[in-house]
Amino acid sequence: MSRALRKQMLTMMNLLDKANRALKVSLTAKRIDGEGIQQLLSECQETAISMGSELEMLYGEGTETVHELEDYCESLYQMTLVLENPEKRRTVLQELTGQVKRTRKLLGELIPDRREVVFLPYKASMWDSLESVWMAAEEDEDCDAYVVPIPYYDRNPDGTFRQYHYEGNEFPDYVPVTHYENYDIQKRWPDMVFIHNPYDQYNYVTSVDPRFYTTELKKRTDMLVYIPYFILGEPDVDNPESLEGMAHFCTVSGVLNADKVIVQSENMREAYIRVLTKECGEETRAHWEKKILGIGSPKLDKVQETTREDLEIPEEWMEIIQKPDGEWKKIILYNTSVSALLEHQEKMLEKMKSVFEVFFENREDVALLWRPHPLIEATISSMRPQLWEEYQKLADKYRAEGWGIYDDSPELDRAIALCDGYYGDHSSLVQLCQDVGKPIMIQGVDIVMQ
């Protein structure tokens, strides 16, 4: 249980302790206020019942703490029956005092002083943006860490929800996953909540379940932390055009509503601060300086720690990668982005066909590993439905021919560790590949091999 809930329970115990002392004073007065005492006993009973109900929900029925609270409620009732009998009411008051003392001790044993941290990823392929933080929390002996993948929906062109997705079964085996229906965030009130989706209702392609919008999460934790699921090229913070080009990343709901935002570098932190200060006013600078932390991205941690020797490579991939003599071909990671397809549409499809033709002709020496952006299909069908059929035909043809690798797995780090070089659109993968020394070539949509 979180420290916040532990504090709440102990605060309620303090109220019961004070009520016992007030009851003792009232019962020893020369003239007993029967009506006031009855009101005090009733309020104590409501508090004890509320505590017992919450503890049963979190720990199940039959805990010793709940039994002690039940005995306490029974003693409160007995007090109402013996108010006119000084001898018996002294006995019941002693019982009440002992029950409050024992309940406090049992609560301390039931709810140790530990931090509760919950991670709320929505796409398994973006888990790397949270993983190293989760690992640190998991290793902390004073912390209980939960990974609770949350559902999301594709949107129709009119913005309504279409297909439901839940990817909790796609996470690595070493990550213990808790189903979102089995973690009541409102009741548990975790000490910290980590997210990587910042858009709330303002993403026109997908949406996480509205129960997990940042506007709702910030009401249910003392510390909401947003870590972007992407890596950006480092901006020139002294160039207004460079800052303007990344402004839309800085002003999303996740940034505005979170208590802390963790970005990839100190330079990126300064860019966020300048953009947000310009947007919200110079008087807000100190707020952004406190909120934005430039301590690095877990995505970089994951990529830098993964080597070829760590990989489990599918057998069907090895059939494409290895030459007949067992030597490996050069592996090129081909990345197609959402933004390039939205901008260039049919022209980009023609470019992709050309790329596939070139790599097919050179398949004896080079293995192509095509990794489209994980939201590309949902984006096309929602925002460019006229492109959907042609894109799907192209993707199906590539997969069916089997001469190249199609990678739609959550394991981005595997693709980067495996490849010898990057080719494709501008995207966060460029920065990740550069950071581990992979050669980069950006495709030009106007260059089509004949």
DSSP 52-104: HHHHHHHH-TT-HHHHHHHHHHHHHHHHHHSTT-HHHHHHHHHHHHHHHHHHH
Q: What is the mean pLDDT of residues 25-33?
A: 82
Residues 184 and 83 in one domain: no
Higher pLDDT pick, 315 / 3: 315
> What CATH number did the domain enclosing 89 receive?
1.20.120
Structural domain boundaries, residue 96: 3-110
For residue 126, give the nearest of 171, 175, 181, 157 by alpha carbon.
171
Pick the last residue of a domain from 271, 300, 329: 300
In a domain, 447, yes or no: no
Q: Are residues 138 and 52 in the same domain?
A: no
* CA–CA dist 246, 202 (Å, integer): 17
Does residue 449 form part of some domain?
no
Pairing of strands 330-336, 421-424: parallel
The model's pLDDT over 210-259, given as tens digits with 9 standing for 90+, comes to 999 999 999 999 899 999 998 888 899 999 999 999 999 999 999 999 99
- Tell me if 325 is assigned to some domain: yes
pLDDT tens sequence across 99-146: 999 999 999 888 888 899 999 999 999 999 999 999 999 999 889 999
Do 269 and 126 lie in a common domain? yes
Q: Where residue 450 falls among pLDDT bands split at 50, 70, 90?
A: low
Are 106 and 125 members of one domain? no
Domain count across the chain: 3
Residue 448 lies in a domain: no
Question: Are 133 and 103 in the same domain?
Answer: no
pLDDT in tens, 412-438: 999 999 999 999 998 888 989 998 999
Q: Which of 270, 300, 330 is the last residue of a domain?
A: 300
Shared domain check, 341 and 233: no
Same domain, 253 and 378: no
Confidence of residue 205 (pLDDT cuts 50, 70, 90): confident
For residue 154, give the H/E element and its range.
strand 152-155
* Whether this model's pTM surpasses 0.85: no
* Whether 242 and 131 share a structural domain: yes
Confidence category of residue 34, pLDDT binned at 50, 70, 90 = confident
Q: Which of 287, 372, 319, 336 is nearest to 445 (CA)?
A: 336
